[in-house]
Every structure is written in structure tokens, then in C-alpha cells.
């Protein structure tokens, strides 16, 4: 199959202003945080939303590890990817103490007289808007209000999870994401958010398993594929990470950081010639990147080493 150009690829996706996830432009709302998408930000490269904070320090006197985001999540930015990068992206807002005791569901209180689905939906929308604007405490309060009326509202559970994660209560976020995924097993965003949060606590086995589940639900979502590879890299399984990086590259051949991450893992398993090719591909796609000069210097060192007599790459 002929690969689309980077320009054609970017035109099919937009970046969610709320959480940093890259979503198909044909959708009206973000699959991760359910906020309206902003097409005018579609020119943002996804790697900035996935692993921005870690990319610059990856190579300095040698190759260091790529840290998950986010989401991705984004992560996020997300992936999601952060849905971090990766990376799905997550915004750290100091509030709750990380690791504080949490429950899978908020305490159930009697439903207020007269509250109905319309009021619940309006409160949920207000909570999402508060989260988008950065008012994490208000967002948390409103999502909890929804859950007092409807304890098993999956969208509110997911939204509360996002608010808790931004407040650095990662255990609380995981509990809500997990419950949302139990209620709606075929919802990709719930599973992605769960994996991303688990990665923030270095729970790599759980994160890997949940990223794989998310991929089953959305096989062509390249941030999820990339975050899976990063999770395997962080666990130390470089051979498996290489396979998953290559899948991410097949889905999104125009994403520079994918080649940089691939090069790191290839170098760690001793495949120096292949690592050089991956780094060179990164430099071709991102010649003006902040770390381009450091990557080039590192490539020169690797090439010199591989050309020494008796050296096998």
C-alpha cells in the first residue's frame, strides 16, 4: 500500500485542545475527553502532545530512555495519548495527594428530588468545560455531582478520572477509568486512559495489557500503538518495543519522534547500523528540531564506531 504524505496524513487528524489526543478530523468530539475538537490546531505535530517534556533530553552524551505520556496522552497526550500520548497529555495541577486512598466509585447519596437526565447531562457538560479551561477542582466537583445522581455513569467516571489524574491522584484516576472500562468494555478511550494512568505509576505490565486491549478496539490509532511501544521500552523489553514502534511507523510514517524512539531501542539491543538509519530518518523529518544537533553528533559517533576494524554492528 502506498504511504500517504505527511501533509495528507495531518489533514485527516486534529489535535484536541483539552487533552492533546490526535483524533480523526471527521469527528465532532474528542474520543478521549469528549470535548469539541478544534480544527484550527490540526497543524500541531502529535509528538509534541505525546512526549514533549522528555524528547529534548533523550540524547546527551548517549541515548537515554524515552518516557511515556501521555496521550499520551496523551497522551496525551496521550495519548492519548498522552486517550496521551501519550501522549495523551495530562496537565499536572497540584491538588490531591498522590496515592491517597480512593474507592472505585464515589459514595452514593440519595438522588436529589427532581433531578433528571437533562440536568445530569448539563452538569456533565459543565464539568467537561471546566476541565478544558483548567478549573480542575470545579470539574471534579461537578463530575462527582453527576455520580451522586448516577453512580455508574461511565462518561462521568472517565471525566472524574481525567480530573483526578490532572490533580495527581493517579490511584483515584485508575479506579475511575477501570470502572468506566468495566461498564463499557468496547470504549477505546476508557481503556487508553486507564493504560496511560497505569504508566504514570510505572505499572508497566498492566499498562501494556490495557494498551493492547485499546489497540484491539482501535487498530489504526497510532498514538495507542506508539504508547504501547514506549511502555514495552520502559519495562525493558526492547525487542518487543521495536516490533511495536515499527507498527506505529507503518500507521504514521511522517511522525519524527517514532524513528527517534525506534533508534533508542535498536541501539540498546546492539543493532547499531539500524539505529543509525532510524536516527537519520528522524533528522530528515525534523531537521530543525531542538535536539537535531545532538542527534547528529551521536550518529557520527555511532558511524565512527561501526567502522572501526573488527567492530560488528
Chain segment 208-267, per-residue pLDDT in tens: 999 999 999 999 999 999 999 999 999 999 999 999 999 999 999 999 999 999 999 999
Flag whether 25 is in a domain. yes
Question: The C-alpha cell of 203 is what?
Answer: 505499572
Bridge partners of 24?
Answer: 13
Chain segment 3-24, per-residue pLDDT in tens: 555 555 556 666 665 555 666 6
Flag whether 311 is in a domain. no
pLDDT-based confidence at residue 63 (cuts at 50, 70, 90): very low
Flag whether 41 is in a domain. yes
Which is more confident, 51 or 282? 282
Flag whether 180 is in a domain. yes
Q: Angle at which helices 222-235 and 188-200 pack, to 10 degrees?
A: 30
Q: Find out whether 259 and 292 touch, Cβ atoms under 8 Å.
A: no
- Domain total for the chain? 1
Residue with cell 537535531: 292
pTM (global) more than 0.85: no
Flag whether 312 is in a domain. no
Q: Which of 90, 68, 54, 91 is nearest to 228 (CA)?
A: 68
Q: How many C-beta atoms lie closer than 10 Å to residue 49's C-beta?
A: 36
E strand or H helix at 159: helix 154-166
Query: Where residue 50 sits, what CATH number does that domain have?
Result: 1.25.40.10
Flag whether 22 is in a domain. yes
The whole domain housing 113 covers 6-306
Q: Torsion-angle region of residue 19: left (phi > 0), alpha (psi -120 to 50) or beta?
A: alpha
Average pLDDT over residues 25-32: 62
Q: Which of 112, 103, 181, 179 is nearest to 148 (CA)?
A: 112
Flag whether 163 is in a domain. yes
Flag whether 1 is in a domain. no
> Residues, the chain, total?
313
Rounded Cα gap, residues 53 and 213, in angstroms: 27
Question: The C-alpha cell of 183 is what?
Answer: 461498564
Mean pLDDT of the chain: 75
Amino acid at each position: 500500500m502506498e504511504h500517504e504524505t505527511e501533509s495528507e496524513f495531518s489533514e485527516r487528524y486534529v489535535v484536541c485542545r483539552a487533552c492533546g489526543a490526535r483524533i480523526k478530523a471527521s469527528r465532532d468530539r474528542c474520543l478521549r475527553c469528549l470535548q469539541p475538537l478544534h480544527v484550527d490546531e490540526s497543524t500541531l505535530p502529535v509528538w509534541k502532545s505525546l512526549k514533549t517534556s522528555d524528547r529534548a533530553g533523550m540524547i546527551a552524551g548517549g541515548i537515554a530512555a524515552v518516557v511515556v505520556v501521555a496521550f499520551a496522552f496523551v497522551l496525551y497526550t496521550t495519548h492519548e495519548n498522552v486517550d496521551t500520548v501519550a501522549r495523551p497529555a495530562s496537565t499536572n495541577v497540584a491538588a490531591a495527594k498522590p496515592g491517597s486512598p480512593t474507592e472505585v466509585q464515589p459514595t452514593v447519596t440519595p438522588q436529589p428530588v427532581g433531578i433528571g437526565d437533562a440536568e445530569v447531562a448539563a452538569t456533565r457538560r459543565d464539568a467537561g468545560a471546566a476541565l478544558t479551561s483548567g478549573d480542575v477542582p470545579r470539574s471534579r466537583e461537578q463530575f462527582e455531582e453527576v455520580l451522586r445522581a448516577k453512580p455508574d455513569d461511565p462518561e462521568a467516571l472517565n471525566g472524574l478520572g481525567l480530573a483526578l489524574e490532572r490533580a495527581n491522584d493517579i490511584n483515584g484516576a485508575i479506579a475511575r477509568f477501570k470502572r468506566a472500562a468495566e461498564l463499557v468494555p468496547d470504549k477505546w478511550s476508557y481503556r487508553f486512559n486507564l493504560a496511560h494512568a497505569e504508566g504514570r505509576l510505572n505499572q508497566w505490565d498492566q499498562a501494556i495489557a490495557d494498551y493492547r486491549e485499546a489497540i484491539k478496539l482501535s487498530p489504526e490509532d497510532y498514538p495507542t500503538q506508539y504508547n504501547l511501544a514506549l511502555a514495552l521500552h520502559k519495562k525493558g523489553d526492547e525487542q518487543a518495543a521495536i516490533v511495536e514502534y515499527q507498527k506505529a511507523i507503518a500507521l504514521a510514517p511522517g511522525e519524527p519522534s517514532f524513528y527517534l524512539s525506534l533508534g533508542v531501542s535498536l541501539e540498546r539491543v546492539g543493532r547499531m547500523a539500524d539505529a543509525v538509519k532510524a536516527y537519520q530518518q528522524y533528522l530528515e523529518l525534523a531537521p530543525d528540531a531542538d535536539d537535531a544537533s545532538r542527534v547528529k553528533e551521536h550518529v557520527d559517533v555511532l558511524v565512527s564506531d561501526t567502522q572501526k576494524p573488527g567492530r560488528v554492528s
